[in-house]
Amino acid sequence: MKKLINDPANVIADALHGLAAAHPELRVDFENRVIVRGDAPVRGKVGLVSGGGSGHEPLHGGFVGPGMLDAACAGEVFTSPVPDQMVAATQAVDGGAGVLHIVKNYTGDIMNFELAAEMVAADSGTEVATVVIDDDVAVQDSLYTAGRRGVGATVLVEKIAGAAAEEGRPLAEVAEVAGKVNAYARSMGLALTSCTVPAAGRPTFDLPDDQMEVGIGIHGEPGRRRVPVAPANEIAEMLVSPILTDLDFTGGDGVICFVNGMGATPLIELYVMFHEVNQLLAKNGIPVARSLVGPYITSLDMAGCSVTLLKADDELLRLWDAPVNTPALRRGV
């Protein structure tokens, strides 16, 4: 194992200290491993909280700031945060307008966020709404889920719901926008290599050099099938076709197309993939209205990519274009 770390047991704590030093505009609660925007709580604004296992950076902590999340909880690598972390995050961002929990559909995340919402309601009466992200079309059930996994759409939900919250919309409307994004987004991923969890020191799964896993999960969960390594145009077809089969993306105002890197794939290859995906969408009469390309929801050092498509309308595009100022996504400021 070759990694830029000290003690594998201290990776998350060391990374949080680095994040705090690099981004003094944020507050980091080291005890609870919670990252909070510096001006939280914002009075009269719905607070947005998300979180999950570490190893997917910049998700979620890299998306804390004006225009996206108010707080994020960092669990152990590929392990859900505990309810006490979620309670601390929720209390830190409660500005009196309620708090929205954005939860990827993994069993531990669902259970712990649900318990945290109950604890906060009982303790302070804070109104908490929840949206569950389940955009992965690869498999119906997985090692860590009942139902579809929450993957790339999480980034889009955090951005678009974050913009709605910045407008001062009430909790019910912000939750409705978040649910709308999830309902109209679909994703599919692929791995060229495994990833290595620092504490384990060895690859999570074995993937021969001449094969790739289609439909991989962000924790290395099995996908649909293993196939021989193929050119980018064929890979794009493998990822896009199941998405277009699952939801009708024609009509409306085009799509937001998100080509995501899994951690070890260089940007040059992601742009090759975006080119191929864009061509496929054009052949199917689906215009790309907005795009996002880069490693935004990763799986440590896994090589590979995922494609997320969001069927857009005027409202979603306007919220997508709204200013955002976070460590990992910044524009219009």
Taking only the tens of pLDDT, the chain with its 333 residues reads 899 999 999 999 999 999 999 999 999 999 999 999 999 999 999 999 999 999 999 999 999 999 999 999 999 999 999 999 999 999 999 999 999 999 999 999 999 999 999 999 999 999 999 999 999 999 877 666 678 999 999 999 999 999 999 999 999 999 999 999 999 999 999 999 999 999 999 998 999 999 999 999 998 887 889 999 999 999 999 999 999 999 999 988 999 999 999 999 999 999 999 999 999 999 999 999 999 999 999 999 999 999 999 999 999 999 999 999 999 999 998
Supply the pLDDT for residue 317.
98
Closest CA to 57 of 331, 326, 333: 326
Supply the pLDDT for residue 147.
87
**Catalytic one of 17, 23, 56, 101:** 56
Whether the Cβ atoms of residue 296 and residue 326 lie closer than 8 Å to each other: no
Supply the pLDDT for residue 252.
84
Closest CA to 296 of 137, 92, 109, 157: 157
Supply the pLDDT for residue 145.
66
**Catalytic one of 17, 101, 219, 275:** 219
Domains of the chain with CATH codes: 8-184 (3.40.50.10440), 186-311 (3.30.1180.20)
Supply the pLDDT for residue 141.
73
Supply the pLDDT for residue 191.
97
Reply yes or no on whether 23 is catalytic: no
Closest CA to 75 of 116, 34, 132: 34
Distance CA 324, CA 63 (A): 9
Supply the pLDDT for residue 203.
92
Reply yes or no on whether 17 is catalytic: no
Q: Does the predicted model carry a pTM greater than 0.95?
A: yes
Supply the pLDDT for residue 143.
65
Distance CA 131, CA 176 (A): 9
